[in-house]
């Protein structure tokens, strides 16, 4: 079995976070004051430099906060999508898992900030400074960071598909495990021997040249290692032993818990229902996750080949273009999941629940779907070549354009609402010809 990758930074204290003044999770009076105007907000901060700013989970979408002083603020999971943050000061702020999609961060100051897991998709951060910031597992897809200062940052396991990093300062940055860096624009970016590449090796002049970046030699030093930050969540005695990074001497994330103890993971998710789980582009090949609670997770483009997932629950999850080749999925639940373009080649899916799932263009070559629930599923353009659908429930399923060569339909349930590959409604004759059972009710 391939080694399961180590997931990045989300840390824990074995206590509930500070009491909030409202059900929002933050002080609404602070949010109101911030939104009333940057000038008055900055004056308040200057007059009260020791005042704690708690805006965790605050909704600041499309807000205009140019030049706002948010230094040292706690804004974990805050929503900044579409916000104007030109020249804003976030130095040493805690902004873990914040949503910054389409935001304007031009010339913003984020030195030393904790932005682990932040979402910068399609954001504009030209000239912004992130020196020494924690950006582990951040998402920079399609973001413009031209000329940004990313020196000494921790960018481990971040995503850079189509990101613009031209002229950005990446000297001393740690890019270990970064994904799709080759598809990012690095023209004129500053690289040094202290820059750690996705492979874990130090950058070289040849690597810089191949990526049209500028290379310089510096005094060699150890890769940047970020100080652990703790994010308050609820824990139980069962999860405490695994999550206590202080006693164990190592740092662990919720996903590490998933791989080590599924029962503890399920308890953790029950206690923290609002916590988002992002497993995009991860390699979980061969993992043993039987019975895991993975409802409403994001796992696009992840690999689950050969994984043991009996009775796991992926209800409502975003699983676009995932690979499940030869995976054991007996009685696994995919109800209402989006599996468009996924690959279940030769997967064992007896009695799996795929009701109302989006299976458009999905590959089921040789898959064992005996007794599977496909009621209301969208199987348009799916490949069911040599798939076993005996006793499967296909009532109301959409098979428009699906490939049904050598497909087994023995005793499968077909209804008048089932759409066959031609785009027409199924008939009793069509069902009988394939050994299926035709019923009038959906």
3 state DSSP class of 53: coil
Which phi and psi angles does 150 have, rounded to 5°?
-115, 25
3 state DSSP class of 303: strand
What is the C-alpha separation between 54 and 232, in angstroms, rounded? 13
Cβ–Cβ under 8 Å, residues 136 and 114: no
Among 153, 68, 137, 125, residue whose Cα is nearest residue 96: 137
What is the C-alpha separation between 104 and 185, in angstroms, rounded? 19
Q: What integer pLDDT is reported at residue 316 of this predicted model?
A: 96
Cβ–Cβ under 8 Å, residues 402 and 382: yes
Where are the strands (E) in 84-239, listed by range?
190-192, 214-216
3 state DSSP class of 230: coil
Q: Give the Å distances, CA to CA, from 332 to 90, 287, 312, 350, 379.
A: 44, 15, 5, 9, 18
- Residues β-bridged to residue 89: 69, 109
Where exactly are the structural domains of the chain?
Answer: 20-226
Please enumerate in sequence order all residues whose Cβ is within 8 A of that of 229, keeping only pairs 6 or more positions apart, or say none.
Answer: 9, 11, 94, 96, 114, 116, 134
3 state DSSP class of 118: coil
Cβ–Cβ under 8 Å, residues 306 and 286: yes
Q: Which CATH architecture has domain 20-226?
A: 3 Solenoid (2.160)
Among 54, 148, 149, 61, residue whose Cα is nearest residue 99: 61
Name the DSSP letter for residue 438: E
Please compute, for residue 314, the number of CA atoms within 13 A of its CA located in the half-sphere on the CB side: 30
pLDDT tens per residue across all 442 residues of the chain: 333 333 333 333 323 333 344 445 677 889 999 999 999 999 999 999 999 999 998 999 999 999 999 999 999 989 999 999 999 999 999 999 899 999 999 999 999 999 998 999 999 999 999 999 999 989 998 999 999 999 999 999 898 988 999 999 999 999 998 886 768 999 999 999 999 998 889 999 999 998 899 999 988 776 554 443 433 333 333 334 444 433 333 334 556 677 778 988 898 888 877 777 777 777 788 889 999 999 999 999 888 999 999 999 999 999 999 999 999 999 999 999 999 999 999 999 999 999 999 999 999 999 999 999 999 999 999 999 999 999 999 999 999 999 999 999 999 999 999 999 999 999 999 999 999 999 986 5
Cβ–Cβ under 8 Å, residues 137 and 155: no
Angle between helices 28-35 and 38-47 (to 10 degrees): 120
What is the C-alpha separation between 82 and 68, in angstroms, rounded? 16
What is the C-alpha separation between 391 and 293, in angstroms, rounded? 27
What is the C-alpha separation between 147 and 129, in angstroms, rounded? 9
Neighbours of 427 (CB within 10 A): 14
Q: How far is C-alpha 399 from the geometric centre of its chain's CA atoms?
A: 30
Q: What integer pLDDT is reported at residue 153 of this predicted model?
A: 96
What is the C-alpha separation between 182 and 27, in angstroms, rounded? 43
What is the C-alpha separation between 300 and 303, in angstroms, rounded? 9
What is the C-alpha separation between 433 and 94, in angstroms, rounded? 63
Cβ–Cβ under 8 Å, residues 394 and 374: yes
Cβ–Cβ under 8 Å, residues 87 and 69: no
What is the C-alpha separation between 13 and 9, in angstroms, rounded? 13
Among 424, 325, 421, 415, residue whose Cα is nearest residue 374: 415
Residue 414's H or E segment, with its range, is strand 413-415
Q: Give the Å distances, CA to CA, from 156 to 142, 176, 183, 191, 279.
A: 18, 5, 16, 16, 15
Among 197, 203, 207, 204, residue whose Cα is nearest residue 176: 197
Q: With the C-alpha atoms ordered 47, 49, 50, 54, is the resulting torsion angle positive or negative?
A: positive
Q: What integer pLDDT is reported at residue 256 of this predicted model?
A: 65
């Amino acid at each position: 079995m391939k080694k399961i990758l180590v997931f990045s930074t989300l840390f824990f204290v074995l206590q509930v976070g500070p009491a909030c003044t409202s059900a929002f999770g933050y002080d609404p009076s602070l949010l109101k004051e911030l939104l009333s105007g940057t000038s008055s907000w900055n004056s308040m901060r200057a007059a009260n430099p020791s005042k704690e700013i708690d805006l965790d989970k605050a909704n600041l979408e499309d807000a205009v906060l140019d030049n706002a002083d948010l230094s040292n603020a706690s804004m974990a999971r805050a929503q900044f999508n579409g916000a104007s943050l030109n020249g804003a000061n976030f130095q040493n702020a805690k902004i873990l898992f914040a949503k910054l999609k389409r935001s304007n961060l031009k010339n913003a100051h984020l030195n030393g900030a904790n932005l682990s897991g932040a979402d910068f998709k399609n954001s504009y951060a030209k000239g912004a400074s992130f020196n020494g910031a924690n950006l582990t597992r951040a998402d920079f897809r399609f973001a413009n960071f031209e000329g940004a200062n990313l020196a000494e940052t921790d960018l481990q396991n971040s995503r850079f598909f189509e990101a613009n990093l031209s002229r950005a300062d990446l000297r001393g940055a740690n890019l270990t495990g970064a994904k799709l860096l080759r598809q990012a624009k690095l023209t004129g970016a500053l690289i040094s021997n202290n820059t750690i590449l996705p492979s874990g090796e130090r950058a070289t002049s040849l690597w810089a040249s191949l990526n049209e970046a500028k290379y310089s030699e510096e005094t060699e030093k150890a890769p940047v290692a970020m100080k652990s930050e703790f994010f308050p969540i609820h824990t139980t005695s069962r999860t405490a032993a695994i999550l206590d990074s202080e006693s164990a001497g190592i740092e662990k994330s919720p996903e590490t818990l998933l791989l080590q103890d599924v029962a503890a993971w399920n308890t953790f998710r029950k206690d923290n229902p609002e916590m988002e789980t992002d497993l995009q582009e991860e390699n979980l090949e061969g993992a043993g996750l039987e019975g895991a609670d993975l409802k409403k997770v994001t796992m696009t483009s992840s690999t689950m080949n050969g994984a043991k997932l009996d009775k796991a629950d992926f209800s409502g999850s975003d699983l676009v273009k995932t690979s499940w080749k030869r995976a054991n999925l007996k009685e696994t639940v995919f109800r209402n999941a989006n599996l468009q373009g996924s690959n279940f080649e030769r997967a064992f899916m007896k009695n799996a629940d795929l009701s109302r799932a989006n299976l458009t263009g999905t590959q089921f070559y040789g898959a064992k779907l005996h007794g599977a629930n496909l009621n209301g599923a969208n199987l348009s353009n799916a490949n069911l070549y040599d798939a076993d659908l005996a006793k499967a429930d296909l009532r109301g399923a959409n098979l428009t354009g699906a490939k049904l060569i050598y497909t087994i339909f023995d005793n499968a349930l077909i209804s008048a609402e089932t759409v066959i590959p031609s785009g027409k409604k199924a008939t009793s004759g069509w069902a009988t010809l394939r050994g299926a059972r035709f019923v009038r009710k959906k």
